[in-house]
């Protein structure tokens, strides 16, 4: 059995059965049968059922949000956004069902067409940091493209996934088409990755585990999408609106308690405005409200677990930098932290901490900023603050990251592509091409010669 703890209180919220390899095998059998029927369903009917699923999510949005608060410690405003993101992504994906078209390519002596066919059964392995939306990133487009989905949520956050599966059935999706199997990565996750009946794996999590999954998928040449770690830069040039950049900085890395692969945890500030930036950002960090995630006024909640708390603590030297406050007593709390006077190659400046901790580093000029921004094995996201349009374009072209924002910290929209460079991942999710990533392209030539 898996125990689900409330990260804010350490109380047991629920216990759920942990799936075995036999459970995975049985789920694949059910999914295979359901997928064949689903793929044969008229596109308009598949789209209609996905929209019903979206309506069901919307009708239970507050319930799902409250469940996310209890199992993941997310602040209530974020949790409502996450449930809404699932709804919106289902709607967006439903709109693509009837537009998933191939091409007619001119050839001599006949007609050549391409057909986009579903892969079959897709395994989605979702993380604990954003349990609902990231589960939907793989599930919604895979279903829309005609596949069946088996979702393995993280051990610590299975409850919203289980509820979504119930809502899918209530909305009329066929039995066996969308199944949720809670379990450990080493057992249920591994069985899903290695199962010959699973055509593709979508994994979001650590780079270390992603490499292991990639190795196992390679043995069968299994399709794979990976969304992995990040150590994203937040570059502030002297010609920027420094006050706006500084005031936007805290929540660029404190949102979801820093448990976000897009968190801007490497803050690079041009030396001539470095001191001014710190003067503005200090009170902004110190005023962040950390506490009960169900309170509407709370800006930051707890970390997910004791082990994650210990990991974050191990990166932070005592007494250095700028610190906010956090509750004492039960719960996995760590204060908002911004470290100064840190070497650019220190572990806290190069490794993914996955907590409310960032470092601020000075740079001299544009070339130095680009060098520092790229001095990491990751390349997921980043921000560039400048009033110079030419500089914004030059730096955007030079920074090795899949998702960049200028004068903002936006990273993820369900209708635009998302994914990373280097060891931040493989492939892209979301956006207008999301459904195609869950298909095989078949080329058919029809001779017109007698």
Complete DSSP assignment for 186-228: IIIIHHHHH-TT--EEEEES-HHHHHHHHHHHHHHT-EEEEE-
Alpha carbon separation from 67 to 123, 205, 290 (Å, rounded): 24, 22, 19
Just list the catalytic residues: 227, 261
For residue 148, give the H/E element and its range: strand 148-152
Residue 275: CB atoms within 10 Å? 10
| Cα–Cα distance for residue pair 339/324, rounded to 1 Å | 12
The SS3 of residue 418 is strand
DSSP 8-state code for residue 185: I
DSSP 437: G
Quick one: 250 exposed, middle or buried, by C-beta within 10 A (0-12, 13-18, 19+)?
Answer: buried
Q: Encode burial over 314-336: b for 16+ CB neighbours within 10 A, e otherwise.
A: ebbeeeebbbbebeeeebbbbbb
- Tokens 């990260």 belong to residue: 7
Count Cβ neighbours within 10 Å for each residue of 415-430 and write b for 16 or more, e otherwise. eeebbbebbbbeebbb
Cβ neighbours of residue 328 closer than 8 Å, sequence gap 6 or more: none
Q: Which residue has the tokens 């999706």?
A: 173
Residues in contact with 402: Cβ distance below 8 Å, sequence separation at least 6, in sequence order? 379, 380, 381, 417, 418, 419, 420, 421, 424, 425, 428
Residues 6 or more apart whose Cβ sits within 8 Å of residue 84: 58, 61
Rounded to 5 degrees, what angle do the CA atoms 112, 113, 119 make? Answer: 140
Ramachandran quadrant class, 419 (left: phi over 0; alpha: psi -120 to 50; beta: rest):
left
Residue 310 tokens read as: 């210990």
Q: Token digits for 229?
A: 């770690």
Q: Are strands 337-339 and 425-426 parallel, antiparallel or unpaired?
A: unpaired
- The answer to whether the beta carbons of residues 253 and 334 sit under 8 Å apart is no
């Amino acid at each position: 059995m898996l125990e689900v703890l409330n990260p804010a209180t350490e109380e047991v919220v629920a216990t759920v059965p942990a799936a075995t390899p036999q459970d995975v095998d049985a789920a694949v059998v059910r999914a295979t049968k359901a997928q064949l029927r689903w793929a044969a369903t008229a596109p308009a009917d598949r789209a209609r059922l996905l929209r019903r699923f979206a309506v069901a999510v919307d009708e239970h949005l507050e319930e799902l949000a409250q469940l996310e608060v209890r199992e993941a410690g997310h602040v209530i405003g974020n949790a409502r956004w996450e449930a809404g993101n699932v709804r919106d992504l289902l709607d967006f994906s439903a709109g693509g069902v009837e537009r998933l078209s191939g091409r007619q390519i001119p050839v001599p002596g006949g007609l050549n067409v391409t057909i986009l066919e579903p892969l079959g059964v897709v395994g989605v392995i979702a993380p604990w940091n954003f349990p609902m939306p990231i589960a939907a990133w793989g599930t919604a487009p895979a279903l829309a493209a005609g596949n069946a989905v088996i979702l393995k949520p993280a051990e610590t956050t299975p409850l919203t996934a289980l509820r979504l599966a119930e809502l899918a059935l209530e909305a009329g999706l066929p039995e066996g088409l969308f199944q949720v199997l809670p379990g450990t990565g080493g057992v249920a996750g591994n069985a899903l990755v290695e199962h010959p009946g699973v055509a593709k794996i979508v994994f979001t999590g650590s780079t270390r585990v992603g490499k292991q999954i990639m190795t196992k998928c390679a043995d069968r040449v299994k399709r794979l999408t990976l969304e992995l770690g990040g150590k994203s830069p937040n570059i502030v040039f002297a010609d920027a609106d420094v006050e706006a950049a500084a005031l936007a900085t805290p929540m660029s890395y404190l949102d979801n308690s820093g448990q976000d692969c897009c968190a801007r945890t490497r803050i690079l500030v041009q030396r001539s405005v470095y001191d001014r930036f710190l003067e503005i950002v200090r009170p902004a960090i110190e005023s962040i409200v950390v506490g009960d995630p169900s309170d509407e006024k709370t800006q930051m909640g707890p970390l997910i677990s004791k082990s994650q708390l210990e990991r974050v603590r191990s990166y932070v030297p005592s007494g250095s930098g700028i610190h906010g406050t956090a509750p004492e007593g039960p719960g996995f709390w760590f204060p908002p932290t911004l470290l100064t006077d840190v070497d650019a190659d220190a572990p806290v400046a190069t490794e993914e901490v996955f907590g409310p901790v960032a470092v601020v580093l000075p740079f001299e000029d544009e070339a130095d900023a680009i060098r520092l921004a790229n001095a990491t094995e990751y390349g997921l996201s980043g921000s560039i603050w400048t009033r110079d349009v030419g500089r914004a374009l030059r730096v955007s072209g030079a920074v090795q990251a899949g998702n960049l924002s200028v004068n903002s910290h936006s990273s993820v929209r369900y209708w635009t592509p998302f994914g990373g460079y280097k060891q931040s991942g493989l492939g892209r999710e979301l956006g207008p091409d999301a459904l195609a990533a869950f298909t095989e392209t078949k080329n058919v030539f029809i001779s017109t010669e007698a």
